[in-house]
Amino acid sequence: MIKSTVHLTLLFMFFIICLSQENSFKGADFQKHQFDFWVGDWNVYKYSTDTIVGVSAIKPILNHTTIEESYQALRHKYKGKSLNTYNAKKEQWEQFWVDNSGTRLHLKGRFEKNKMSMSDCEEVSETCNRITWTVLNDKTVRQEWEQSKDNGKTWNKVFDGHYKKRE
């Protein structure tokens, strides 16, 4: 009788542990899909215009643990790439951006209220960057890139793009 009670207790504890791990995986799984709204092949327009400024291909890679962006401007030789991943330990998203002009960014942030917002203001001393991606009602995405030279007191918009899916 004691053996069966011990076995049942151990089995119950094992079940509870498995259930709690499953729920934590579901939470992490949910987090890593928050940026999926940006996945796709896009034409990028200057916001509120019909002027196309570039194209962007955004896809999940590495078993959907990372989102890779490849951007190319249409009228210039400008190109850039980003890797975006959810850091579960820090409970934040991170973006690593590089381009052919030598710009390198390491942004960190969160998804809240249909917006992904990331910045590097905690790490830089001169110009800090903040990029916000907003899911619009028509399933397009607005990307606003702002810079601040006074540690986030005032912001200057350097890019305002409207991502529309290519047909």
Q: Which two tokens stand for residue 32?
A: 């890593």
pLDDT band at 138 (very low <50, low <70, confident <90, very high): very high
CATH class of 33-165: mainly beta
Write out the two tokens for 155: 């912001």
Instruction: Please give the share of the chain, as a percent, with pLDDT higher than 90.
Output: 73
Those residues whose C-beta lies under 8 Å from the C-beta of residue 28, and which sit 6 or more positions away, are 86, 88
2: CB partners within 8 A, 6+ apart: none
Which pLDDT tens digit goes with each residue over 56-112? Answer: 999 999 999 999 999 999 988 999 999 999 999 999 999 999 999 999 999 999 999
C-alpha–C-alpha distance, residues 68 and 58, integer Å: 6
CA distance 53 to 73: 6
User: pTM for the whole thing?
Assistant: 0.80
